[in-house]
Structure 1
């Protein structure tokens, strides 16, 4: 079905296609037709952050920012989905156009800018979701555009308090390139202050709710090696539950001949694979072994998911690959990770 609908979606303006595609997915789910879109993968239970995921392939944040389509997305066979980024107050994001396809390069440039209905809207949507099946739910939180970085911790704490009872894990987005100044929160002193505040709040909320929800930090792929050293030092010292590597990139390497080369925003898709994986690998060698990582950025085939695991990821996420390949990519990635697991255990010969 996706192969049939993709030409129409790619003919439309990217943001309009985004909305129409999600509406179509929702309609198919309501009619019980999700099986026509994807073959659910066989279980491949994977443990991380104290949780058990039915399979290690997830949806990255950004596709369903307000949590409107949770059930329809879970029905595609993901082991987990991540909604958001959500902000404390509603905000429209950046002006349109703000989403661009680079079809030849199998990439997307976006400068959405945390368009969000606000955390209260997201909470209502999550509460309405039926969440049948075993797929887990991550909620990605950020700050409002109007909030200066010196007050950013308040925005993140506000969101964390609201989503904590509903999330299986919470992801802290300090790495989007589309909110002015946000990436400055990755600098060592700012990162230590913010993550320390959130860790304290996490422990307080665990006592109130009687459960400990893991809090992960999402890192950019554009950090220098020195910055990666500093980030790993802070995240290790503060014993974060996990790290997501990476967000989109401001680099334009690999898309130099695109007609959208001059558009501002974060680049995702196939050209991001090498850079994101290199960042993942460097972080893995610097973080304590007990801090698991999610690998995201450039996964377009099952082999790319296996590459992320080989670089140190326990779980992987896709987004742009789903846009270009459709839901079949999910099962393909799970199958590739199953083969890798079997090969490492000796059940299959290493290729």
Structure 2
């Protein structure tokens, strides 16, 4: 029903407007008695064989929702009913910000992709915490954190540490988002020396807590082998808990969308099917060349059970969906979990 009726209607409207409409719709419907239990019956699979134990956390299944969908942590309780094993909120910045000018979200229907240049639009740290205080404990929550656009380079680390300190009681793990192409001084955020400094500072805060939270690094799919070797060395040196591979891509190679269309869209990060092979390559390189020394969360272009299994076979311990969730609908989560049970 989703692909034959709901998606065609949704795709008639502006992507960002329909995103907000969908949030309101799911929020409203979920308040109707028994609807949440109906969703759980339709989409959830509760099977111990799906459980994954990583960095001190037990995930009830390995299929998660990537950051960027529930930026302000307003829908995670309702989204948990669709069968996710974990949900990543954010990217959260210390102060709320409007992000880049609209229009900034574009569908590439023929490619089953999306280009966005949202620019870390979110309501800020205090708003996210307010929402996370409503956590009903249905699902593991990740906190994806970043810097404000107006922050000067010498203060980048402060933005991350403020978010880490304040969100610490409310999330189960953290993601340092240093690879989004839609933020200023993107190059510095991917510099190995700076990343070591950033990770070290965040780890100091973590060590001071009674209960430490896992910290992951989210990297781009466009890194070359030398840069990936640097990531492997960085993980070994800092003992960070894992890597999310990968974020959106700036590469436009091989798209079905016309040059005119892409020129009209302009800059932004590409997600969905067009980056599937790129992200899988990154996962495999990291796994093979580190001798699987650290957990990897695979994300990028998962639109089917086969896509998810490819990520796992390449070396991913968990997978995340976002664009595939939009194109394929909530049944994708259950289909992936059923395929995992059948395969493994």
Distance in 1 separating the partners of 2:98 and 2:257: 31
If the length of structure 2 is used for normalisation, what is the TM-score? 0.94
Question: Are 1:140 and 2:141 matched, yes or no?
Answer: no
- The change in CA–CA distance for 1:164 and 1:260 in structure 2 (over 3 A counts) is farther
User: Which of 170, 173, 177 is the equivalent residue of 1:169?
Assistant: 173
- Cα RMSD of the aligned pairs, angstroms, is 1.5
Work out whether 1:282 is the aligned partner of 2:288.
no
Per the alignment, residue 51 of structure 1 pairs with 57
What is the alpha-carbon distance in structure 1 between the residues aligned to residue 293 and residue 30 of structure 2? 38
Corresponding residue to 2:323 among 320, 323, 326:
320
The corresponding residue for 1:225 is 225
Q: Kindly indicate whether residue 16 of structure 2 is the aligned counterpart of residue 15 of structure 1.
A: yes
* Aligned 1:159-308 pairs, distance under 5 A: 159-204=163-208, 206=209, 210-258=210-258, 260-262=261-263, 263-287=266-290, 289-308=292-311
Equivalent-residue separation in structure 1 for 2:170 and 2:289 (angstroms): 32
**1:250 and 1:265 in contact (8 A); partners too:** yes
- Of residues 25, 41, 55, the one that matches 2:45 is 41
Return the offset for 1:23: 1.4
Seen in structure 2, the aligned counterparts of structure 1 residues 260 and 83 have a Cα distance that, compared at 3 Å, is: farther
8 Å Cα contact 1:41-1:330 kept in structure 2: no
Residue 128 (structure 1) shift: 1.8
Q: Deviations over 1:25-71 (max 9, x none)?
A: 11222213243594212331111111110000000000010000111
Among 80, 100, 104, the residue aligned to 1:94: 100
CA distance in 2, matches of 1:45, 1:144: 36
* Structure 1 outlier segments of 4+, above 6 Å: none
Structure 1 residue 130, shift from structure 2 partner: 2.2
Question: Structure 1 unaligned runs (5+)?
Answer: 342-351
Whole-Å separation in 1 of the counterparts to 2:132 and 2:291: 33
- Mapping for residues 97-108 of structure 1, pairs under 5 Å: 97-108=103-114
- The answer to which of 185-194 and 28-37 deviates more is 28-37
- Listed as ranges, the matches of 1:53-132 within 5 Å are 53-131=59-137
Asked if structure 1 preserves the Cα contact closer than 8 Å seen for 2:297 and 2:319, the reply is yes
Count of aligned residue pairs for this structure pair: 335
CA distance in 2: counterparts of 1:260 and 1:201, whole angstroms: 46
Q: Where does residue 309 of structure 1 map in the other structure?
A: 312
* Distance change >3 Å, CA 198–CA 36, structure 1 → 2: closer
Q: Is the 8 A contact 2:43 2:81 kept in 1?
A: no
Q: In the superposition, relative to structure 1, how do residues 118 and 67 fare at CA in structure 2: closer, same or farther (>3 Å)?
A: same
Q: CA deviation at 1:288?
A: 6.0
2: CA distance, partners of 1:30 / 1:227: 47
Would the aligned equivalents of 1:145 and 1:180 in 2 still touch at CA under 8 Å?
yes
Q: Give distance in 2, aligned partners of 1:162 and 1:174.
A: 19
Q: CA deviation at 1:286?
A: 3.2
- Deviation of 1:255 after TM superposition, in Å, equals 1.4
Instruction: Output the CA distance in 2 between the equivalents of 1:235 and 1:201.
Output: 18
Could you tell me which residue of structure 2 aligns to residue 28 of structure 1?
29
Q: 1:287 to 1:149 in 2, by over 3 A?
A: farther
Instruction: Could you tell me which runs of 5 or more consecutive residues in structure 2 were left unpaired when the two chains were aligned.
Output: none
Are the aligned partners of 2:89 and 2:143 in contact in 1 as well (CA < 8 Å)?
yes
CA change 1:260–1:180 in 2 (3 A) is: farther
Q: Distance in 2 between matches of 1:117 and 1:287?
A: 38
Task: Find the aligned partners of 1:285 and 1:186 in 2 and give their Cα distance.
Answer: 22
